[in-house]
Amino acid sequence: MTLDTTPHSYATWYIKPLGDRWLHTEAVAAKVAAVAPLLGLREFEQNLAVGIAWLHDLGYAFPDVHPWHPLAGALYLRENWNASIAGYVAWHSTAEHEGPMLGYGAELMEFERPHNLIQTVVDWADMTTGPRGEAFTLQERLAEIGNRHGKDSTQYNGMVASFDRLNTGRKIIRRLVTA
Ligand SMILES: [Fe+2]
């Protein structure tokens, strides 16, 4: 017997039992898979982008590892799988602002931050997908986070602070997809 350790199998094992998180994760992975071949990425990079999409919220399955899900997922992945994949998970979406707001800036900095199209496409897919897999604009996602967590929350303020970068990423993806 061989052990199946693909990102999809990790996600199925750990995230599928978490209910709505699975709907969100499936939709983010499907979105990345749909556009990845259109971005000029090598096949390996396309597969990596889809893999990160499957794993980006893995930390919700490991609240015992760390109370904040990007670091919970990253710490778990660094320990059990791959340090470079852990960096993508640590820094995904609004983490650069949310981490310091929560007092986790130093722990976040222990992970190398990827600055590339793989992270851009995962962030775009994550922040244009609702908590039950809905297709949202960035503005709709921001409003939904504000309603769900409150305007005082780090989730909302993290997305406000990240909005311009996420919007730039959206434009980059749209330009490449329609080119
Ligand atoms: Fe997500």
Domains (range + CATH), the chain: 7-178 (1.10.3210)
Q: What is the pLDDT of residue 179?
A: 80
- Distance, CA 141 to ligand 1 centroid (Å)? 11
| pLDDT for residue 82 | 85
Supply the pLDDT for residue 86: 96
From the list 48, 102, 44, 46, the residue with the least C-alpha distance to 72 is 102
Residue 133 pLDDT: 98
Angle at 163 between CA 39 and CA 154, to 5 degrees: 125
The pLDDT score that the predictor gives to residue 1 is 46
The single-letter code of the amino acid at 80 is: N
27 C-alpha to center of ligand 1: Å? 10
Helix axis angle, 117-127 relative to 43-55, nearest 10°?
40
**Ligand 1 centroid, distance to 97 Cα (angstroms):** 16
Q: Tell me which residue of 111, 47, 106, 49 sits closest to 79, measured CA to CA.
A: 111
Contacts of 173 (CB under 8 A, 6+ apart): 35, 39, 120, 121, 124
Tokens of 73: 């997922």
Distances (CA, A) of 172 to 63, 166, 178: 34, 10, 10
Both tokens of 11, joined, read 């996600």
* pTM of the shown model: 0.96
pLDDT score of 83: 85
pLDDT at 3: 64
What is the DSSP annotation of 75-89?
Answer: HHHHHHT-HHHHHHH
| Residues within 5 A (CB) of ion ligand 1 | 57, 126
Q: What angle is formed at CA 101 by the lines to CA 80 and CA 147, rounded to 5 degrees?
A: 95
Q: Which residues of the chain have pLDDT under 70?
A: 1-3
